[in-house]
Each structure stands twice: as structure tokens, then as C-alpha cells.
Amino acid sequence: MKHRKGRLGGHDTGRRLPGRRSRCKRDDWCRTTSASRQIWRELATSLRSMDKLAREADEATEMLRGLTVRVVRRHRPSELLIEFDDGTRLLVDAQGALELSITGGADG
């Protein structure tokens, strides 16, 4: 911590340089506020992502509700194919991000 030398014989009077402490507090507050904002942004992004994944899971559940599995196949180590009695196929690909694909069926 810097001190200003007093006029009395060159001894330290114990006074701080003007503005130094308040600037440090302000900088600390800015860093804390910036970090807090970043955390909230990441949390919001994560929650939106989780909400999107939940909606996709709900849609898949509705599409596959009541279907009977005919066969499960593995073509590659990262893939799983499930075929249902009505011709619907669910492909799960785990290479990179997990991907779901539902095709075929009575409607398509």
C-alpha cells in the first residue's frame, strides 16, 4: 500500500494516496460483477439447453408411446437402432453429441 510522505521531516504520516483505495474497491466490484454476470449467462444457457432436451425427450416419448419393439440392432459401436412392429425406427447415435432420429411408422 502506497503512502504519501508527510511534510514533517520526511516521516510517513500514514495517509493513503487519494483515490487509490476506492479505485481498488471499484475494480474488485467490477471483476466480481463481471464474473457474476458470466455465471448467470452460463446458467441461463444451460437451463435453455436442458429445457430443449426435455422437450425433445417428451416429443420422442409421445411418438413412441404404445409401440412394440420388434428388433434392436447395433451397426456401429456408437449407434443403436430400434425397430418397432409398425415400421417406426429409432436411431440413437452417440458419436459426439447424442442424436435421436425417429423415422417411418404407420404415418410416414
- What is the DSSP track for 36-57? HHHHHHHHHHHHHHHHHHHHHH
pLDDT band at 86 (very low <50, low <70, confident <90, very high): very high
Per the rule left: phi > 0, alpha: psi between -120 and 50, beta: everything else, 43 is alpha
Q: What pLDDT sits at residue 107?
A: 57
**Maximum CA extent, the chain:** 98
Last residue of a domain, one of 31, 54, 77: 54
Domain that holds residue 87: 66-108
Q: Which tens digits make up the pLDDT trace of 14-53?
A: 555 555 555 555 666 566 677 788 888 888 888 888 888 8
Asked if 1 contacts 14 with a C-beta cutoff of 8 angstroms, the reply is: no
81 and 43 fall within a common domain: no
Q: In terms of domains, do 31 and 73 share one?
A: no
* Domain boundary pick from 54, 76, 97: 54
DSSP reduced 3-state for 72: strand
pLDDT of 40 reads: 83
Domain count along the chain: 2
- Percent of the chain scoring above 70 in pLDDT: 68
Q: What is this structure's pTM? A: 0.54
